[in-house]
Amino acid sequence: MQRYETMNTFQTIIHIKLLLKRIWIVVIVVLFFFPSFGQTKLFKTQGSGINDEVFCAVQDKSGNLWFGTTGEGAYRYDGKLFTQFTVKDGLTSNTIWSVLEDKAGNIWFGTDYGTCRYNGKSFIPVPFTVTNSNNLSLNKSFYKDASAKNEVWSMMQDKSGIIWFGTREGVFCLNGKIFTRFSDNLSVINKDGLHLKMVDCILEDKNGIIWFASGMPPGYEGLCRYDGKMIQSFKPKNEGWFRKVIQSKNGNLLLATRRYGVWSYDGNSFTDFNQPEELVRGSLFSILEDRAGNLWIASDYGKNEGDTLGGLWHSNFSATNSEVKSYTKIINKEVNLIFEDKDNNIWFGTRGTGLYRYNRKSLTKFSE
């Protein structure tokens, strides 16, 4: 009798161990194959390639960081864990070119297949449906049949609440629930006949002027200025491609050009801005002026993709005081995204879907 009870106890222990082992296996599988449950790093799950990138970022009102990638969808970072969102969760595409939080707290994602809005619970596709166009020659069926396929390169919400979208097919404006295409507005003086296709960046400056940084062909319309009445284009040195436009603390615009490195624009003239001597100017991808006024420069490659001439530089001078011409190189990776969070950390994205944080002292990698 005692032996029988001992055998039962032994078998029970074995069964418990087997059950715990199976539970542990299930936990591992869930964490690995279903990253939406949370993970400590940004893992690639969609089979993206070496040239895919962490391309855009925003920090929401709750402090969460959102990162858009060009193959892995979106990631939300709450300070401890990353949560991944893909087409399986409702995104219109896993390729994200732009991300924005609107004044109501919705997160917008501009993808290579239109745009969608995340309300905290679900993703809602928002097609560019234009019902009242002033352009009589416009093919209205385009917006019904193809608007969902429209790449959205940039987004910005202005002071009045209008959301601006820079897309392959031009700039669209969303005022509440009504879309209009900016180039169809006949009240806007457009002597240059601008189409505003492929706009890489949209900025509203301190005076309410809207600036459009025109991108690759069929864009290539230069730096465009809209003052509420007229839109005009600036193409000094025939430079038509501007990857980024920001406003410095001194009021000047700082520009990431496609061929000439960093320019400054004071409202009257364009001039070369101090930049790293080893920067291959045709590789400049983005610029950032941090809260202290210091400049950060990102290069996606040097003379050749994969070499060590690209990377991330940090200046020890500001746009308001550029007497000291010195830059410190942070990393040699091919960098395309630079972002400063509310704690003054610098985040940057690289080729190969790499994500890093620089706390002004050391680097932390947050990707596999």
368 residues of the chain, pLDDT tens digit each: 444 444 455 455 556 555 555 555 444 444 444 444 578 898 889 988 888 999 999 999 999 999 999 999 999 999 999 999 999 999 999 999 999 999 999 999 999 999 999 999 999 999 988 755 554 333 444 444 445 578 999 999 999 999 999 999 999 999 988 899 999 999 999 999 999 999 999 999 999 999 999 999 999 999 999 999 999 999 999 999 999 999 999 999 999 999 999 999 999 999 999 899 889 999 999 999 999 889 999 999 988 877 888 999 998 776 666 565 689 999 999 999 999 999 999 999 999 999 999 999 999 999 98
Could you give the count of Cα atoms lying within 13 Å of 355 in the half-sphere of its Cβ?
Answer: 27
CA–CA separation, 277 vs 268, rounded Å? 26
> What long-range pairs does 35-38 form, CB within 8 A, spacing at least 24?
35/82, 35/83, 35/84, 36/83, 36/84, 36/85, 36/89, 37/83, 38/81, 38/82, 38/83
Secondary structure letter of residue 39 according to DSSP: B
User: Do 176 and 238 meet the contact criterion of CB atoms below 8 Å apart?
Assistant: no
User: Do 212 and 170 meet the contact criterion of CB atoms below 8 Å apart?
Assistant: no
- The number of domains in the chain is 2
Cα→Cα distances 293→135, 158, 324, 344, 363, Å: 44, 23, 14, 12, 21
In a domain, 345, yes or no: yes
Under 8 Å CB-to-CB from 242, ≥6 apart: which residues?
A: 200, 201, 213, 214, 215, 222, 223, 255, 256, 257, 258
Q: Which two tokens stand for residue 19?
A: 């059950």
**Closest residue by Cα to residue 123 from 165, 146, 94:** 94
In a domain, 299, yes or no: yes
In a domain, 21, yes or no: yes
What range defines the domain where residue 361 resides? Answer: 246-255+269-368
In a domain, 343, yes or no: yes
In a domain, 320, yes or no: yes
Q: Which two tokens stand for residue 128?
A: 């560019």
In a domain, 17, yes or no: yes
CA–CA separation, 174 vs 157, rounded Å? 9
In a domain, 194, yes or no: no
**Closest residue by Cα to residue 359 from 314, 308, 310:** 314
Secondary structure letter of residue 86 according to DSSP: -
Could you give the count of Cα atoms lying within 13 Å of 274 in the half-sphere of its Cβ?
Answer: 17
The pLDDT, as a whole number, for residue 213 is 98
**Closest residue by Cα to residue 296 from 283, 308, 286:** 286
Burial of 253: CB neighbours in 10 Å, binned 0-12, 13-18, 19+: buried
How many other C-beta atoms can be found within 10 angstroms of the C-beta atom of residue 46?
16
CA–CA separation, 138 vs 143, rounded Å? 10
CATH label of the domain that carries residue 316:
2.20.25
In a domain, 234, yes or no: no
Single pTM value for the model: 0.85
CA–CA separation, 21 vs 28, rounded Å? 11
How many other C-beta atoms can be found within 10 angstroms of the C-beta atom of residue 269?
9
Q: Which two tokens stand for residue 120?
A: 């905290």
